[in-house]
Amino acid sequence: MEHIGSFGASSYSLRDMQLFRDADEAQLAAALADCVVCRLAKGKRLADSFRARLYIVLSGALAEAGTDGTVNKILPGESVGEQSVLDEATNLADISALDVTELLLIEADLVWQLIDQSNGVARNLLRLLSFRIRAASALLRRRQKLGEFYRQLSMNDGLTGLYNRAWLDDMLPKLVATARRTGGPLSVVMIDLDHFKRFNDTHGHLAGDDALRRAAAIINAALRPSDFAVRYGGEEMVVLLPETSDKLATLVAERLCLRLRQVVIFGDMRLPMPHLTGSFGVATLEVAMDELQLLAAADAALYRAKQAGRDRISL
């Protein structure tokens, strides 16, 4: 960074600077006359490792790079470093010149002096900081929303919108632990669509995808808000039923089985497989079981439902 003279000897006007707007110009001009004006070549970083200072852009522009890849442009009349002056820390993280840039450099002591002497400067500084806090909060809110969006994406299955296997692996142990702690029942229903390979072979994979989406929507819509539907893999789904006994889970599975059977995939009954059916395996957590054994029990029950002729439930 090259020192090119004093502010008093330069042709720059205080009127154009946010921090000095509506403040006593003559008083400020006298106070700032000896301050250094320096020039930063295009692309050069504003390296300020040892002292907290305020910089006001006189011409050109600075780029302040955030840790999230955002770039904040600082234009003539705007300043950087207010916060580092106030908290006496050097935090001019990653600031570089977008163009040949001339800066007014004000040492921290002088900034404090100006604040003490001028209500206008103090007010402008507060306004600036308030604006920055608002901008930072808005950015934080945007990031939170984005984070929530990606969290949802990572938990849900892309085709059906049901929870995915990763969510199940995370959540089922927690549900099991809760059931153990409270002593309440926990049931699961494993669901497998019947003859789905034949459905795909007959109507094509895209129609198969569509049917799978329909089946998932039917199952999801038939559950209580406290239940969870998960795509377990392929055409297999799992329903988690907290606070649900084996008797109640059987009723739920029967309802799901009936609802699925009633769905009309193709209105034209002359087409092969105009309906979808599913087989359902019900299991309820027992004292010695962990989550894997609970799923294995539901899977074994599902196998029995398939063996018994499909389109039915089994315990």
Query: H/E/C letters for each residue in 147-183?
Result: HHHHHHHHHECCCCCCECHHHHHHHHHHHHHHHHHHC
Q: What is the 8-class DSSP label of residue 45?
A: B
- Nearest-angstrom CA–CA distance, 72 and 70: 7
Tell the smallest beta-carbon distance from residue 75 to ligand GTP (Å). 52
Find all residues with CB under 8 Å of 262, minimum gap 6, and list them.
none
Tell the smallest beta-carbon distance from residue 234 to ligand GTP (Å). 3
Token pair for 66? 């955030």
Cβ closest to ligand GTP, residue 21 vs residue 275: 275
Tell the smallest beta-carbon distance from residue 131 to ligand GTP (Å). 50
Tell the smallest beta-carbon distance from residue 257 to ligand GTP (Å). 14
Cβ closest to ligand GTP, residue 105 vs residue 193: 193
Find the helix or strand (DSSP H, E) in which 107 lies.
strand 101-107
Point out the residue whose Cβ comes nearest to ligand GTP: 208
Tell the smallest beta-carbon distance from residue 301 to ligand GTP (Å). 14
Cβ closest to ligand GTP, residue 82 vs residue 235: 235
Cβ closest to ligand GTP, residue 211 vs residue 295: 211
Cβ closest to ligand GTP, residue 202 vs residue 226: 202
Among candidate residues 286, 261, 285, 256, the one with its CA nearest the CA of residue 274: 261
Sheet with 71-74: strands ordered across = 71-74, 62-65, 95-97
Pairing of strands 278-284, 228-233: unpaired
Among candidate residues 119, 52, 63, 54, the one with its CA nearest the CA of residue 88: 52
Which residues lie near ligand GTP (CB under 6 A)? Answer: 159, 192-198, 200, 205, 208-209, 212, 234-235, 306, 310
Cβ closest to ligand GTP, residue 195 vs residue 214: 195
Q: Which residue of the set 82, 102, 235, 291 is catalytic?
A: 235
Examine the residue annotation and report whether 235 is marked as an active-site residue of this protein.
yes
φ/ψ of 36, rounded to 5, equals -80, 140
Cβ closest to ligand GTP, residue 123 vs residue 306: 306
Tell the smallest beta-carbon distance from residue 272 to ligand GTP (Å). 14
Find all residues with CB under 8 Å of 32, minimum gap 6, and list them.
7, 8, 14, 104, 106, 110
- Nearest-angstrom CA–CA distance, 227 and 243: 9
Find the helix or strand (DSSP H, E) in which 205 lies.
helix 205-221
Among candidate residues 107, 41, 103, the one with its CA nearest the CA of residue 74: 103
Tell the smallest beta-carbon distance from residue 198 to ligand GTP (Å). 6
Catalytic annotation, residues: 235
